Structure 1
C-alpha cells in the first residue's frame, strides 16, 4: 500500500458512518482532534527514536504517517499538494529554502 492508496482510503472515510471505522470516528471528531492525535503519535515516535528502539520507531512512524494523512484530510489538504511542495523544495538547497521563509 502506498501513501496515495492510504490517503484515498482515508478520504473515503470522511463520509462513512463513524461506527464503521476508526478513521471515520476520528474525522467525525473534527480537525482539532485529528491534530491532537497526530501530535500524540509524533511524541511517541520521538520517544522511540531517543530510546533507539527500531521496532518501536517503525511502528510509531507508521502511526505518525497515518495520523498526518488523517489530519490533512480533515482540513481538505490534498496529499498531492504536500508532495508538490516537497518537489518544489527539492529544487533548492535546504539552507536556501530555510532562508527564504
Structure 2
C-alpha cells in the first residue's frame, strides 16, 4: 500500500514545478492553500454523504464502491494539502505507526496534557 502513496507523493512534488495550465494539481498549488482547503472540505462532505447513503442502502455494492471512490478523492486531496505544506504521506504513516497499539483513550489523553 505504501508504494502507491510514495508514487503519489512523488507526482505531487513534481507538480509543484509544472504550469497550472498543464496539471490539475499544479493549478491547485497555484490557487493557494484556501483552494486546497476548500477541496479537502468538499471531499470530506462528499465522503460523509456517501457513507450515509451506504448506511441507508444496507450495504449495496454500488454504494460501497461510491464510498471508496469518495474516500480516494479525500485521501488524494489531503495528500495535495500535505505536499503543499512540504509534508508527505510518510509523515502521516509515521504518526499512525507511533500510535499503533496505543489505546485510543490513552493517545487522546496524551495530546491534552
TM-score normalised by structure 1 residue count: 0.93
Which residue pairs with 1:2 in the alignment? 4
Which residue pairs with 1:62 in the alignment? 72
Q: Which runs of 5+ in 1 are unaligned?
A: none
TM-score normalised by structure 2 residue count: 0.83
Q: Which runs of 5+ in 2 are unaligned?
A: 55-62
Q: What is the alpha-carbon distance in structure 2 between the residues aligned to residue 49 and residue 17 of structure 1? A: 35
Give the deviation of 1:31 after TM superposition. Answer: 1.5
Q: What is the alpha-carbon distance in structure 2 between the residues aligned to residue 30 and residue 73 of structure 1? A: 12
Q: Quote the RMSD (CA, aligned, Å).
A: 1.2
After superposition, the C-alpha distances for 1:19-71 in whole angstroms (9 at most, x for unaligned) are 11111101111112111101100110110000102121111111001100001
Larger-gyration structure (1/2): 2
Give the deviation of 1:4 after TM superposition. Answer: 1.2
Structure 1 segments, 4+ long, off by >3 Å, are none
